Amino acid sequence: MLGVVLHAPGDVRTEELAMPVVIEPTDAIIRVTATCICGSDLWPYRGIEAVRGPQRMGHEYIGVVETVGDAVTLVKPGDHVVGSFVASDNTCEICRAGYQSRCVHQVMMGSVGTQAQYARIPLADGTLVPMPGQPPADLVPSLLAASDVLGTGWFAAAAAGAGPDKTVAVVGDGAVGLLGVLAAAQLGAERIIVMSRHADRQELARRFGATDIVEERGDEGVARVRELTGGLGVHSTIEAVGTQESMDQAIRATRPGGHVGFVGVSHDVSLDGLELFFSSVHLHGGPAPVRRFLPELIRLIWDREIDPGAVFDLTLPLADAAEGYRAMDERRATKVLLTTD
Ligand SMILES: [Zn+2]
């Protein structure tokens, strides 16, 4: 089978790999029907995160169950499934509290690699959620988005307390930020301010429910958000980048008592204690517990109430994954879907 392997920064290849097999009785093997490239895949691709020798890539996936281990009871061969980017048992105390991405038995799917024709899914009963049936082709991008970027944007919006009567700011106009807009709109936010300087992404943000665009960045961007909110700052901020600048911007744009939902994978971010003290904001984030939201997200997509798949602006065969990485690295694409057949 074909799968994507990163050998060194900038050197990603689609190669012939061994077929995955059931190792633990709780495993399932799925035929991956669609996968994609994540913004976080760019960290090692750009060399900002260390490349640990030739490493398998990808953690987003939908597929069809092929075989299951002896202990798997909730999914069966033939099921069409969506899974989270973190495998979880969904039964431990952390999972039951809704934090499946930090399950005591968690397995990061990036270490397994889902940019491939087949994948081993650990803890299949806890990780995979069956769809109502075989998805119509036009819903595939949206269902795939649920595996990470939609679920992550949704968690960020929930963690930021987005809801009726709330003004929400979104820092970051990548796929997660854009789907944070969609989530905030679905959760009933009154006003959604997106910080973006790319015309095409602004347009998609508006389609997803954004009401205002702020093109300024850093402290100028914060000043503009405050101007739009009577000097107070927003109630809720979604931080979807993970840099010092974006985190500072998120905290400073939020009013005292407000909430910041941060889901950008943090890289060299440090917070000033005294500034944090006087900000009086709630900070809540981390790897999104996508599994918590999956049943509801699948339903919303199946019923065509949301169209998160619109974030994909380039589709390539798995064999051309290297071009997909280049396109995202050079910002020619927001998010790249990889077909597997
Ligand atoms: Zn658990």
How many Å apart are CA 29 and CA 31, to the nearest integer?
7
CATH number at residue 68: 3.90.180.10
Q: Does residue 130 sit in the same domain as residue 8?
A: yes
In this prediction, residue 56 carries a pLDDT of: 96
Q: Which of 269, 285, 301 is the last residue of a domain?
A: 285
**Is residue 57 located within the same domain as residue 123?**
yes
How many domains, in total, are found in the chain? 2
Beta-strand runs (E) in 106-222: 107-108, 118-121, 128-130, 167-171, 191-195, 212-214
Q: Ligand 1: distance of its center to the CA of 99 in Å?
A: 8
- Ligand 1 centroid – CA 105 distance (Å): 6
Residues 243 and 136 in one domain: no
pLDDT at residue 283 in the model = 98
Give me ligand 1 centre to Cα 36, in Å: 25
Last residue of a domain, one of 260, 285, 310: 285
The whole-angstrom separation of Cα 211 and Cα 199 is 15
Quote the pLDDT of residue 235: 98
pLDDT at residue 49 in the model: 86
What would you report as the CA-atom Rg of the chain, rounded to the nearest whole angstrom? Answer: 19
The reported pLDDT for the residue numbered 341 is 84
The pLDDT, as a whole number, for residue 19 is: 97
Q: Are 194 and 177 in contact (CB under 8 A)?
A: yes
Instruction: Note the pLDDT tens digit of each residue in 161-200.
Output: 999 999 999 999 999 999 999 999 999 999 999 999 999 9
Mean pLDDT of the chain: 97
**Is residue 88 domain-shared with residue 112, that is, in the same domain?**
yes
Tell me the CATH number at 217.
3.40.50.720
Q: Which amino acid is at 298?
A: I
Domain enclosing residue 307, as ranges: 2-148+289-339
For residue 326, name the pLDDT band (cuts at 50, 70, 90): very high
Quick one: tokens of 35? 């996968």
Whole-number Å distance, alpha carbon 34 to ligand 1 midpoint, is 26
Asked if 44 and 139 sit in the same domain, the reply is yes
pLDDT for 52 equals 81
Shared domain for 144 and 156, answered yes or no, is: no
- Provide the percentage of residues in the chain whose pLDDT is more than 90: 95
127 and 242 both lie in a single domain: no
Pair 121, 85: CB distance under 8 Å: no
Q: Distance, CA 262 to ligand 1 centroid (Å)?
A: 22
What values do phi and psi take at 302, rounded to 5?
Answer: -60, -40
Claim to verify: residue 27 and residue 115 sit in the same structural domain:
yes
Strand partners, 338: 35, 316
pLDDT higher than 90, residue 272: yes
144/293 same-domain check: yes
Q: Distance, CA 103 to ligand 1 centroid (Å)?
A: 4
Report, as an integer, the average pLDDT of 241-263.
Answer: 97
Is the full-model pTM beyond 0.85? yes
The pLDDT value given to residue 216: 95
Q: Are residues 202 and 122 part of one domain?
A: no
Name the domain boundary from 267, 285, 303.
285
Has residue 8 got a pLDDT over 90? Answer: yes
Q: How far is the CA of 93 from the centre of ligand 1 (A)?
A: 6
User: CA-based angle 282:39:8, to the nearest 5?
Assistant: 130
**Residue the block writes with tokens 């059931």:** 22
Distance from the CA of 75 to the center of ligand 1, in angstroms?
17
The answer to whether 92 and 104 have CB atoms below 8 angstroms apart is: yes
Q: What band does 48 get if pLDDT is binned at 50, 70 and 90?
A: confident
Mark whether 104 and 168 lie in a shared domain.
no
Please determine, for residue 281, whether its predicted confidence score (pLDDT) is greater than 90: yes
Question: Tell me: the pLDDT tens digits for 102-143?
Answer: 999 999 999 899 999 999 999 999 999 999 999 999 999 999
132 shares its domain with 154: no
